[in-house]
Every structure is written in structure tokens, then in C-alpha cells.
């Protein structure tokens, strides 16, 4: 199989599959005579068991035995009475009907080729991908996908993760003084004891099964307040994460959410995130520079602060004293 040079950042290339499309279906069977595993290219159209039984003649690549309704079962099957092996017998007929049904009865019965490792593998070796070929599966097998993801995740780690964790720490510190204590029982009452996204009934005593969602994310400098808290199941919350409400909730849900919490609907519905500027950036800077037990020295922390203040366009909220502390940043 020829290697096709495709530019990608992972260092793991796709291979060119000869005479087949990556999404094609394959049938796989074990030869009844010599027990060799054989692969049969089916293509983009799955076939019915009746069609397969009527039309297929699968010739074993090793011993040449032809698998079809016109074949006697192999004479090497000495544990069968010889007359049961003849193609005219009901035993042989039923055998061949089921033989072809096993390989074609449903999409899960088919196999597919991975365009990274080149192996033809059972349907279950591929993750689902809606609309990709007759089997609706991804191009690469789950094993290769695991390797590709390892490279991609690794590229994201180090620098990127470090930066986003610093930004998160600074954002948390900027809003810290505005956080309110959330009365969990009152929160459950407001949301009827249900996950606001999925409607799943939640048990207040099972901590870990539910979360208090920051409706407007702290990433955009919103504190956790009674008005900014929603009750979500832990699954729904892990989908929401730092997303802006309009990116996660439907318009009807946003209306409902504003009703329950008293939050500002126009802000919730904004198509893009809006940074909260109703915070005291100066006090936030003080807090970040005065953190105890920080491994990062002051000059580094000043650089981090400047970067985040610029990213959030908060320069105008600094007073002269803090402008001086951070050095001219505009």
C-alpha cells in the first residue's frame, strides 16, 4: 500500500487505500474448508442477506473453496454424516442461508478499513461519525485515533495549558470579592430539584452528581452569585464548562433561565461573550501580586497580569497607581 504524503501536524500519515474508498464496507468470513480468514470488498451499498445468499460466490484466497449456495459443504467435515453435506439437502441450504446472513444482516456485521494502519477491522473498532459512508464510522480505527489524539493533546499541553491556567487564576482573583455564598437548598428549590439542561432529577445528598453552573462564566470575569447560578447535572455541566450561555442553551432555555434566576436576558443571549467590566481591576491586581506561597516571582506575575489585562481590554479600569506598578502597558 502506497504512502500518500499529506501535510499534517501529527506525524501520522494517512495511507492511500487501493481500489477502495475509506468508508467502504467489507465482509469477512472464515473459510469453511481451511479456516483462513477472508476479506470481501462490498463497497458503499450494504447488501441484504437474501441478496448475498442468492448471488455471492466467495472463493477462499488460500484453498480456493467457493462459498455459495451451489457448493456442497466440505468433505473434510468428517463429524457430519456425508449425505448432510450435499447442497441439495436442507442442512446445507440452511447452513448457507445463515452463513451469508451472519456477514450481512446489519451494519454491525460489516468490517471497514482504517486509513492509518490499513487493517480491515470490525465495525466496532471505529467510532461513530454521522453521515460518513454506509456504516457511519470514522476513517481511522479507535487504536490509531488514540495515537493521533495523544499527539494532538500533547501539542496542546505545556504552553497553552499553562497560559490558560494562569488566566483562570487571575480571572478568579479579579472576581473573588464579588462571589456570594450559594444556599444549595434554595438553589434546588428554584430549579425544582432538576438539572436545568436535561431535566434529570437530582439528589441533593449526592454531591458530585450535580454542579452549580456559573451561567456567565468566571472566564469572562463573572462572579458566582445567586443570580448567576444554575443547577446542572454533572454530565451537563461538563458539556457547558466555560461556554457562553447562548452557545450552550437554546433561546427558550435562556428565557426560562432568566425567569428563574433574574439574570439579564439580553446579556445571556448575546451571541458572543461579553467581558464583565463591573469589577475592581486595581484590587484584583493587588490580590494577585500579594499571593502568598506563589512560586512565581513578582516580575513574572506582573508580566502575566499585563497579558491578561490586555487580553480582556481592561487597561482603562486601572488607576494611575496600578498603571505605574504594571509599567506603561498601553
Among 92, 116, 175, 254, which residue sits at the site for Zn ion (rule: CB under 5 A)? 116
H/E stretch holding 30 reads: strand 25-30
DSSP annotation of 45 reads: S
Q: How far is the CB of 23 from Zn ion (least distance, A)?
A: 14
Among 17, 47, 60, 231, which residue sits at the site for Zn ion (rule: CB under 5 A)? 60
Q: How far is the CB of 58 from Zn ion (least distance, A)?
A: 10
Closer of 59 and 315 to Zn ion (Cβ): 59
Cell numbers representing residue 54 in the block: 442468492
Q: How far is the CB of 144 from Zn ion (least distance, A)?
A: 3
Nearest-CA neighbor of 67 among 42, 99, 27, 41? 99
Closer of 60 and 263 to Zn ion (Cβ): 60
Q: Contacts with Zn ion in 122-141 (CB under 5 A)?
A: 141
Q: Contacts with Zn ion in 291-330 (CB under 5 A)?
A: none
Q: How far is the CB of 33 from Zn ion (least distance, A)?
A: 5
Closer of 25 and 31 to Zn ion (Cβ): 31
Rounded Cα gap, residues 281 and 271, in angstroms: 25
CA distances from 51 to 7, 74, 92, 105, 319 (A): 42, 23, 18, 11, 80
Q: Is 31 in the site for Zn ion (CB under 5 A)?
A: yes
Q: Is 15 in the site for Zn ion (CB under 5 A)?
A: no
- 320 burial (CB, 10 Å; 0-12 / 13-18 / 19+) is exposed
Rounded Cα gap, residues 88 and 201, in angstroms: 61
Rounded Cα gap, residues 188 and 192, in angstroms: 6
Rounded Cα gap, residues 64 and 67, in angstroms: 9
Piece of 1-9, 64-72, 249-257, 290-298 that binds Zn ion (CB under 5 A): 64-72
CA 202 to chain CA mean position, Å: 25
Q: Is 285 in the site for Zn ion (CB under 5 A)?
A: no
Among 25, 144, 187, 221, which residue sits at the site for Zn ion (rule: CB under 5 A)? 144
Q: How far is the CB of 245 from Zn ion (least distance, A)?
A: 39
Rounded Cα gap, residues 67 and 78, in angstroms: 18
Q: Is 34 in the site for Zn ion (CB under 5 A)?
A: yes
Piece of 4-12, 28-36, 158-166, 260-268 that binds Zn ion (CB under 5 A): 28-36
CB 3 within 8 A of CB 19: no
Q: Is 117 in the site for Zn ion (CB under 5 A)?
A: yes
Q: How far is the CB of 31 from Zn ion (least distance, A)?
A: 3
* 99: helix, strand or coil: helix
Q: Is 114 in the site for Zn ion (CB under 5 A)?
A: yes
Q: How far is the CB of 125 from Zn ion (least distance, A)?
A: 8
CA distances from 68 to 31, 57, 96, 154, 187 (A): 12, 5, 7, 51, 67
Residue 231 β-bridge partners:
212
CA angle 322, 328, 330 (to 5 degrees): 105
Among 12, 16, 28, 63, which residue sits at the site for Zn ion (rule: CB under 5 A)? 63
Closer of 92 and 257 to Zn ion (Cβ): 92
**Number of residues in contact with Zn ion under rule CB under 5 A:** 13
Q: Is 202 in the site for Zn ion (CB under 5 A)?
A: no
Interaction site with Zn ion (CB under 5 A)? 31, 33-34, 36, 60, 62-63, 65, 114, 116-117, 141, 144
Amino acid at each position: 500500500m502506497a504512502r500518500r504524503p499529506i501535510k499534517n501536524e501529527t506525524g501520522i500519515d494517512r495511507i492511500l487505500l487501493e481500489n477502495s474508498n475509506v468508508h467502504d464496507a467489507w465482509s469477512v468470513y472464515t473459510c469453511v474448508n481451511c479456516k483462513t480468514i477472508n476479506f470481501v470488498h462490498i463497497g458503499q451499498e450494504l447488501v441484504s442477506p437474501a441478496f448475498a445468499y442468492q448471488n455471492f460466490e466467495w472463493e477462499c484466497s488460500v484453498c480456493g473453496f467457493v462459498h455459495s449456495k451451489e457448493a456442497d459443504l466440505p468433505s473434510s467435515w468428517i463429524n457430519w454424516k456425508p449425505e448432510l453435506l450435499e447442497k441439495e439437502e436442507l442442512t446445507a441450504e440452511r447452513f448457507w442461508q445463515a452463513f451469508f446472513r451472519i456477514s450481512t444482516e446489519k451494519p454491525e456485521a460489516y468490517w471497514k478499513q482504517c486509513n492509518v494502519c490499513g487493517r480491515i477491522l470490525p465495525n466496532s473498532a471505529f467510532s461513530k461519525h454521522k453521515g460518513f459512508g454506509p456504516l457511519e464510522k470514522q476513517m481511522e480505527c479507535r487504536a490509531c485515533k488514540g495515537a493521533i489524539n495523544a499527539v494532538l493533546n500533547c501539542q496542546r499541553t505545556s504552553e497553552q495549558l499553562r497560559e490558560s491556567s494562569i488566566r483562570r487564576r487571575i480571572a478568579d482573583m479579579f472576581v473573588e470579592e464579588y462571589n456570594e455564598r450559594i444556599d444549595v437548598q434554595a438553589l434546588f428549590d428554584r430549579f425544582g430539584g432538576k438539572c436545568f439542561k436535561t431535566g434529570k432529577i437530582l439528589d441533593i445528598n449526592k454531591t458530585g452528581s450535580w454542579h452549580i453552573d456559573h451561567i456567565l462564566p468566571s472566564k469572562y470575569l463573572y462572579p458566582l452569585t445567586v443570580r448567576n447560578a444554575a443547577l446542572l447535572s454533572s454530565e451537563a455541566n461538563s458539556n457547558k464548562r466555560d461556554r457562553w450561555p447562548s452557545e450552550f442553551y437554546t433561546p427558550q432555555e435562556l428565557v426560562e433561565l432568566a425567569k428563574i434566576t433574574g439574570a439579564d436576558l439580553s446579556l445571556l443571549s448575546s451571541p458572543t461573550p461579553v467581558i464583565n467590566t463591573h469589577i475592581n481591576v486595581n484590587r484584583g491586581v493587588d490580590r494577585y501580586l500579594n499571593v502568598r506561597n506563589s512560586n512565581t516571582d513578582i516580575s513574572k506575575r506582573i508580566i502575566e497580569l499585563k497579558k491578561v489585562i490586555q487580553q480582556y481590554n481592561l487597561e482603562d479600569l486601572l488607576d494611575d497607581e496600578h498603571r505605574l506598578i504594571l509599567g506603561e502597558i498601553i
